[in-house]
Amino acid sequence: MRRRSARGSAAKQCGPDLDRAPRANSRGRVASGVRVSGVPMPRAAGRSVPEIVVRSAPRFARWNLAAESLARALLGQRLVRIERGRRLSGVIVETEAYLGGDDLGSHSAGGRRTARNESMFLPGGHAYVYFVYGMHHCFNVVAAPAGEGCAALVRAIEPLEGVEGMARRAGLDSISPAELATRRVRRLLGAGPGKLCRSLSLDRRLDGESLAESDRLFIERGSVIPARRIEVGSRIGIQYAGEWVNAPLRFGIASSECLSRPFAGAGDGAGAVADGIPPKRNRCVGR
């Protein structure tokens, strides 16, 4: 069942039909040589890159989590975009939590509601997609509780399925099949919020989409990442956020080569979040 966006426009398809392939079934494909969550896959020889079958998995459904808990839980899960019957996907390797309320780094700070950020106030498990700097889109997952304006930004993915299609969407038409498995190309496709949105054709037409019900954008269950493998740091690009600038609300998988930026130090992130958050705690903080 397809859920329309809060603005009624999410039913439109995003992006051109770049793959020209028959409709895929529940099995996806991924170019070999890609390292997924630190596990190397065999590289191909020659001009073409053989594909490895990736089976679809049950959907992630922990939509009752507060923002910082959701940001952690999303690490290791598979973000899936279905476009023209083709699966494009990547493993989520970096996130940030935005707490609303007193969090001056959040679009919803102080309860601010606008046409742009209205989706942040939907129940947990909806998409919040916004356009920034007049250049690129950013994809967020709305967190619980509803009406508080809390969300987790997906900052980076490790490309998994439909890598050739992702490269074309990113404007990398000249990339050879053998190059698709390289670290450089994987980073061009997924190491940053704007890059992953371009590669997966995520834009404002998907704003407000229900990730629990959509047949074109959803998250599948992947690996549970232990705290010892999670790096923790301050969020990127929020110099305006006063005492919240250094709040440790950015999370990443330590072994990933697709992090948008390196962390200051490796992390056993257990319990690190609450220690650096300013005293006024929001409803979006907690387990």
Residue 13 placed within a domain: no
Phi, psi of 174 (to 5 degrees): -85, 0
Q: What is the pLDDT along the chain (287 residues), one digit of tens a residue?
A: 444 444 333 333 333 333 333 333 433 344 433 444 443 333 433 334 444 456 779 999 999 999 999 999 999 999 999 999 999 999 999 999 999 999 999 999 999 999 999 999 999 999 999 999 888 999 999 999 999 999 999 999 999 999 999 999 999 988 888 899 899 999 999 999 999 999 999 999 999 999 999 999 999 999 999 999 999 999 999 999 999 999 999 999 999 999 999 998 644 444 444 445 665 555 565 54
Residue 19 placed within a domain: no
Cis ω before 262 (30° cut-off from 0) = no
Residue 200 placed within a domain: yes
Residue 71 placed within a domain: yes
Query: Considering its fold, how many domains does the chain have in total?
Result: 1
pLDDT score for 272: 42
Residue 135 placed within a domain: yes
pLDDT score for 281: 52
- CA nearest 206: which of 56, 65, 70, 88? 88
CB 205 within 8 A of CB 9: yes
Looking at the chain, which runs of residues are DSSP E strands?
Answer: 27-31, 51-55, 78-83, 86-98, 127-132, 136-142, 151-161, 217-220, 230-233, 250-253
Residue 82 placed within a domain: yes
Residue 5 placed within a domain: no
Domain region containing 133: 27-276
Q: What CATH number is associated with residue 186?
A: 3.10.300.10
Residue 169 placed within a domain: yes
pLDDT score for 279: 56
